[in-house]
Amino acid sequence: MNNCTFFGRLGADPEIKNTNSGQKVARFNLAVNRTWVGKDGQKQESTTWMTCIAWEKLAETAEKHLKKGQRVLVTSQYETRSYEVNGEKRWAHEFRVTALDIVDWPEKMEVTPVATPPDSKLVPPAPKTTAQKVQSTPPIADDDELPF
């Protein structure tokens, strides 16, 4: 299985391109922070940069909604490819995006409620009730009721 999930911030706006065949592709770098306590008991932190590649619909989503600094949850598959620069073979390590969850939506995406005209027959929705605690497992029945 080749699944990778990362939570981080975009280092820059996504770079959007179209291939010769017309497919849209988005490339963006994701800063993923890691913290731990060192041998000396002090908190340590490092940032790893992940190169993420999104195709087609995910690339369109990245183009429309992703901006520098946003927090996102990326599910991806790890891929490597080789290329040459001045006769020297190099390797790229990239993550092909399979799912994208935007945590920080841009302010322009916020929905502003529209006032209902006074002569409207629309009724505003009832307020939501508070959630009730749901039992995760059914109660255990008497031994006589168990099917085994």
pLDDT at residue number 105 = 73
How many C-beta atoms surround the C-beta of residue 133 within 10 A?
5
| Domain span at 49 | 4-36+44-105
Per-residue pLDDT reduced to its tens digit, 58-77: 999 999 999 999 999 999 99
Number of domains forming the structure of the chain? 1
136 domain-assigned? no
131 domain-assigned? no
126 vs 32: which has the higher pLDDT: 32
How confident is the model over 70-99, as a mean pLDDT?
Answer: 94
Query: pLDDT-derived band of residue 107, with 50, 70 and 90 as boundaries?
Result: low
85 domain-assigned? yes
How many C-beta atoms surround the C-beta of residue 80 within 10 A?
8
68 domain-assigned? yes
